[in-house]
Structure 1
Amino acid sequence: MGFIGSVFSPWYAWSGRKDPENHVCINVATYGPGGRFTMTDRGRDALRQSPRKFEVGPSSLTWERGELVIDINEISAPPVIGRVRGKIRVTPSAITGVELPLTPDGAHVWRPFAPVSTVTCDLEAPGWQWTGHGYFDANFGTRALEADFAYWTWGRYPTASGATCFYDATRLDGSELGAGFHFDRDGSARAIDLPQKRALPRSLWQVRRETRGDGPARQVMPMLDAPFYTRAMVETQLEGQPSIGVHEALDLRRFRSPLLKPMLAVRVPRRARWNFGI
């Protein structure tokens, strides 16, 4: 994930969130034995942007002939410290035109650029090479997430014809968002009737989780657990067919706690200075 204004950075929160370009990062997480997590908060000297390239220090995202090429060169955070380096290619089947406002005033927007993509990962460690299906999306906002939301979940599930995404959120004012979209491989999208919510067991940090589907859902593999956030591979059923996708749950009430910020600083180090060597 690339951030301008790193929403989960304690350094950005402590700064008052007034200068997003002074808090940028590229976050990488790998899973399974020897998994790594990198989320270095960098200053404005580390940011360079052009219409086709986004650079944060030693890592970058570049559009090249219809592919998003992600060059990674980061150091992972404790408890497993080590270099995470290599290349990831995201090849969209098509680019969508969908934007979903998450609040009535449009202060938060979800933009699923390429919900149906092929991903090729080639990182410099044994077992970190694979090709499979994936997606590329973005969230934009003009206010802090915890200023407007109490809780949300998101899920992206591949289907025979493309992918289906669900977005559910509870806002601080008590109103709720529930949205579902199916994306075809040609980039066309349509809103769908929402299947029933399906409860999942709480995460290791006891974050509440739920997704949607036509039948019971289950966790296939844990991916990332934090006191306020969880990511996992989840199996659900859509139109009678099983589908395994990526699911996220975010508890913004927990994230709002000032006690979490010092804990996050261990996993999200601050590196204010950078020189591109020009």
Structure 2
Amino acid sequence: MGPRFDAEVPPGGYTWWYVDAISDNGQHALTIIAFVGSVFSPYYKRSGRDDPIDHCALNVALYGPEARWVMTERPRGSVTREANMLAIGPSRVEWTGDALHIHIEERDTRLFNPVHRPVRGVVKVHPEALNPTSFALDHDEKHIWHCLAPRARIEVEMEKPGLSWKGKGYFDHNRGSESLEDGFRIWHWSRAHTKRGALVCYEGERRDGSLFASAIRFDREGVAEDADLPPIARLPRSKWRVERSARSEISVARVRRTWEDTPFYARSELSSHLDGEEVVAVQESLDMRRFASPIVQFMLPYRMPRRKK
């Protein structure tokens, strides 16, 4: 039921494992994404996407005091895939059978700054329960989403920068047999912990113009069921003017913090109202039309370097 890191990834396809978390004191947050066939890689796109294993990256984003951002792409020769382990360069993620251990050995990327600071440490993800059910995001099942752990406890022990905290987290997996821009124009996603378990909302517009929207409730045992879709809560655009949208039972949500703000992607922490209670939600908005634009493709290598090993 846990992740399998050695599953086949077809040419043109992708797979990723995503973790986010907020510290118990609210001062820190993180997202970590392990990519095979990195969907946002300008190098993978330019290559024709024939070899996804040749375009892998571990994206580490630490928010709050001592913020860091890492996304260095590695080639096939620096990638090791086993059933329970994925190594990308000097970093690796391991599934122990009941927890995900993420060993980080990277250097950060800062625009217009040649000094790349070390980012080193271990993050442990302890699911409260595992969900076995995956969901297709399109009619042809070319894009699959699997919420592995709608609720998890997180332990963060970073040596560089010196950070130590615990918090609440989330762990999921996406995979596909075509590029995101071939499948979608835009999407909005959000997740929130509730007293009953967790609620995840997924919606957007596919490349063919069709719309999709769903709300899925997970109980404390990780069992999924369809939920009534809450009303749309419009959010202010990001500084890069990315349109954001979420769901809230009182049609009102507030951006507490914007974690990521890029020309085609925004990730935010929200205050919202779901399952009859006030909740803290993590939300993302993605515009693949902007991602595919020549100016964004020109800019991406400055943020996402590629190494030979």
TM range (shorter): over 0.9
Whether the 8 Å contact between 1:44 and 1:272 is mirrored in structure 2 is no
- Distance, in Å, in 2 between the alignment partners of 1:69 and 1:239 is 31
- The residue that corresponds to 1:254 in the other structure is 290
Whether the 8 Å contact between 2:66 and 2:161 is mirrored in structure 1 is no
Task: Give 1:40's aligned amino acid.
Answer: T
Whether the 8 Å contact between 2:92 and 2:102 is mirrored in structure 1 is yes
1:45 lines up with 2:81 in the alignment: no
Structure 1 residue 125: Cα displacement: 4.2
Structure 1 residue 272: Cα displacement: 2.4
- The residue that corresponds to 1:168 in the other structure is 203
- The residue that corresponds to 2:46 in the other structure is 14
SS in 1 for 2:241: coil
- The residue that corresponds to 1:113 in the other structure is 148
Whether the 8 Å contact between 2:118 and 2:160 is mirrored in structure 1 is no
Structure 1 residue 109: Cα displacement: 0.6
- Distance, in Å, in 2 between the alignment partners of 1:39 and 1:129 is 22
Q: 1:66 aligns with which of 98, 111, 116?
A: 98
Q: Deviations over 1:112-158 (max 9, x none)?
A: 11111111111124663211111110110111101121100100101
- The residue that corresponds to 1:265 in the other structure is 301
Q: Deviations over 1:87-131 (max 9, x none)?
A: 000001111012110110000011111111111111124663211
Task: Give 1:48's aligned amino acid.
Answer: T
- The residue that corresponds to 2:37 in the other structure is 5
- The residue that corresponds to 2:28 in the other structure is none
- Distance, in Å, in 1 between the alignment partners of 2:272 and 2:235 is 10
Q: 1:104 aligns with which of 120, 139, 156?
A: 139
SS in 2 for 1:231: strand
Task: Give 1:257's aligned amino acid.
Answer: S
Task: Give 2:123's aligned amino acid.
Answer: I
- The residue that corresponds to 2:278 in the other structure is 242
- Distance, in Å, in 2 between the alignment partners of 1:185 and 1:93 is 8
- Distance, in Å, in 2 between the alignment partners of 1:218 and 1:129 is 28
Q: Deviations over 1:44-74 (max 9, x none)?
A: 0111111111111111111124110000011
Please report the RMSD computed on the Cα atoms of aligned residues, expressed in angstroms.
1.2
Q: 1:70 to 1:140 in 2, by over 3 A?
A: same
- Distance, in Å, in 1 between the alignment partners of 2:298 and 2:259 is 23
- Distance, in Å, in 1 between the alignment partners of 2:279 and 2:299 is 35
Task: Give 1:19's aligned amino acid.
Answer: D
- Distance, in Å, in 2 between the alignment partners of 1:161 and 1:54 is 33
1:56 lines up with 2:88 in the alignment: yes
- The residue that corresponds to 2:68 in the other structure is 36
Aligned-pair identity in percent equals 40
Whether the 8 Å contact between 2:120 and 2:161 is mirrored in structure 1 is no
Q: 1:25 aligns with which of 42, 53, 57?
A: 57
Mean CA deviation greater in 150-159 or 64-73: 64-73
Structure 1 residue 235: Cα displacement: 1.1
Aligned residues: 273
TM-score (norm 2): 0.86
After superposition, residues 84-233 of structure 1 pair within 5 angstroms as 84-125=119-160, 128-215=163-250, 216-233=252-269
Unaligned runs of 5+ in 2: 1-32
Q: Deviations over 1:174-227 (max 9, x none)?
A: 111101111112111111010111100000101000100112100011101110
TM-score (norm 1): 0.95
- The residue that corresponds to 2:8 in the other structure is none
Structure 1 residue 32: Cα displacement: 2.5
Unaligned runs of 5+ in 1: 274-278
Task: Give 1:181's aligned amino acid.
Answer: I
Whether the 8 Å contact between 2:125 and 2:154 is mirrored in structure 1 is yes
Task: Give 2:245's aligned amino acid.
Answer: E
